[in-house]
Amino acid sequence: MTETAVGTGRAAAAGDIVTFTYVGYLYDSTKSDFKGQKVESSVDTNSTFTATVGVGAILPGWDQTLLGMQAGGKRTAILPANLAYGANTRDAQGIYAAIAANSPLVYDFVMVNVIPQVTIPNQPPPTVLTVVANTPGTGTAIVAGKQITVNYTGWLYDGTRPNFKGAQFDSSLTKGVPLGFTVGGNGVIPGFSTAVIGMQVGGSRTVIIPPDQAYGAAGTTSIPPNATLVFDITVVTSN
């Protein structure tokens, strides 16, 4: 990561709302600045992007680069594939090149504004499985017995955050491989299997899973006992 201009004011911290511009390129080792074909840009559309930084709401590499930036600051970062789009692909779109699986990318960022996070009263976790966001996909709805693959990211529940996402403990996106399992089988925690019922290929959900449908009193090495979990789930395939 290279800081090409230092900004002024508050340095972006986890939970802050940041507004910035970005330009992304395929990594090209033959170029002196490593910038190959352009893949996306807010600058080309004269627009900005606003997100909560440091909470897993954007690409991991974006999070890492934007933290600490100040308004007016500029940074260029080379993102390895696991901090960008991982094994996911994207077709060429107009003037923008396609992104192949496991592609490293180069981004230019300019920070426009940093708004401090708002302290939110601690909201107790729900005691039943709760869907807090849902984007439909296409095709047949998933039922028990289906063999599916999904991309997912999991966080510990944090009632002080607006999206309830605390510390991240696992993600298929960083591994670069979707998770495959039989719905209703023993391959995943019960709440995860229940959460995908009714989803379609390409659809996504954010779900809150109580401990009795997760890892219960036992926990794991990365999940405390009796922890409520939050998952983003996107269905990749269903057979």
Q: Is 17 a catalytic residue?
A: no
For this structure, is 49 an active site residue?
no
- The dihedrals phi and psi of 169, each to the nearest 5 degrees, come to -120, -15
Q: Is 192 among the catalytic positions?
A: no
Locate tokens 């401990």: which residue? 211
Residue 96 designated active-site: no
Q: Which of 215, 223, 232, 233 is catalytic?
A: 215
* Cα end-to-end span (Å), the chain: 42
Residues 130-160 as b or e (16 or more Cβ within 10 Å = b): beeeeeebeeeebeeebebbbbbbbbbbbee
The reply to whether 148 belongs to the active site is no
Q: Which residue in the list 20, 209, 231, 232 is annotated as catalytic?
A: 231
Catalytic annotation on 170? yes
27, 170, 181, 212: the catalytic one is: 170
SS3 197: coil
Three-state DSSP at 72 gives coil
Tokens 């009795």 sit on residue: 212
Considering 142, 148, 189, 233, which one is annotated as catalytic?
Answer: 189
CB 210, CB 127: distance < 8 Å: yes
Q: Which residues are catalytic?
A: 152, 169-170, 189, 215, 231
